[in-house]
Amino acid sequence: MGCLLRPGGGEVALFGHSLAGLDAEALARLRLRHVGFVFQHYNLFPTLRAWENVAIALDLKGVPRARRRAEAERLLDRLGLADRRDHFPAELSGGQKQRVAIARALAGAPELLLADEPTAALDGRTGQEVAAVLHELAHREGCAVVVVSHDPRMERFGDRILHLEDGRLIDDRRPSAPDPGASIAHDRDP
């Protein structure tokens, strides 16, 4: 789904594009155009400030140079990081790093946001905050958010929960009323 691998069998189509037969560059273009990624270990660029990490993604997406900083700061502000824009990743807490990573993933307004174990490297409270952020994004931004997680606490944030075990789908349910809890605008990290 993330267009990082080609299907070994069957057919996978994303936003009307079959992944079969696409070369590495075409897959990269598809990712760039449609998908935002949030990784377990944030994967921020350690030599870049928070806003620069987001601006790199905007650069890739072709946002004009003059607008990149303002747009990056807008995304960081929305994620409650207005006072952390100029910090380097090493100067941020785990939760703040993950929110910078989410801001980067949202750069260019992707239609799909894929989060790989977004709370695995975070403590319980911070993990809840990040999960709430993702939930709110899905509802406010009209962006489909797909989270892969082993953290059962994530379940209460999901609109649809698919349970995989040993590569097989064993459960598919839609909770009637997800409870996102925290607001994305609050920053309780130190």
Partner 1 sequence: MTERGIDGTTLLAWRNLAHDRARFAATIVGVVFAVMLMGVQLGLLVGFTRTTSGLVDNTDAPLWITPAGTTNLDIAGRLELRRRYEALGVPGVERVDPLMMQFGFWTRPDGGSESVGLVGFDPVGGQGAPWRLVEGRPADLERDDAVVIDRLYARKLGVARIGDTVEINRRRARVVGFTQGIRTFTQSPYVFMHHRHAQRLAGFPVTQTTYLLVHTRPGADAETVRAALERRLGAVDVWHARDLARQAQTYWMITTGAGSALLLAAALGLIVGIVIVGQTLYATTMDRLPEYATLRAIGAPTGYLNRVILKQAAISAAIGYAGGMLAVLIVVALSSRTNVAVAMPPWLAAVLAALTVLMCAFGAIVSVRRLMRIDPTAVFQ
Under the rule (CB under 8 A), what is the footprint of partner 1? 2, 4-5, 24-25, 28-33, 35-37, 39-40, 43, 45-48, 52, 55-57, 59-61, 64-69, 104-105, 116
- Give whichever of 73 and 129 is closer to partner 1, judged by the CB atom: 73
Contacts of 35 by beta carbon, 8 Å cutoff, 6+ apart? 2, 3, 14, 110, 111, 112, 113, 114
Smaller CB separation from partner 1, 148 or 161? 148
- Report helix, strand or coil for 13: strand
Taking the complex as a whole, how short is the minimal distance between the CB of residue 176 and partner 1, in angstroms?
Answer: 33
Q: How far is the CB of 125 from partner 1 (least distance, A)?
A: 26
Q: Where are the beta strands (DSSP E) in the chain?
A: 13-14, 17-18, 35-38, 112-116, 144-148, 161-165, 168-173
CB of 82 to partner 1, least distance (A): 18
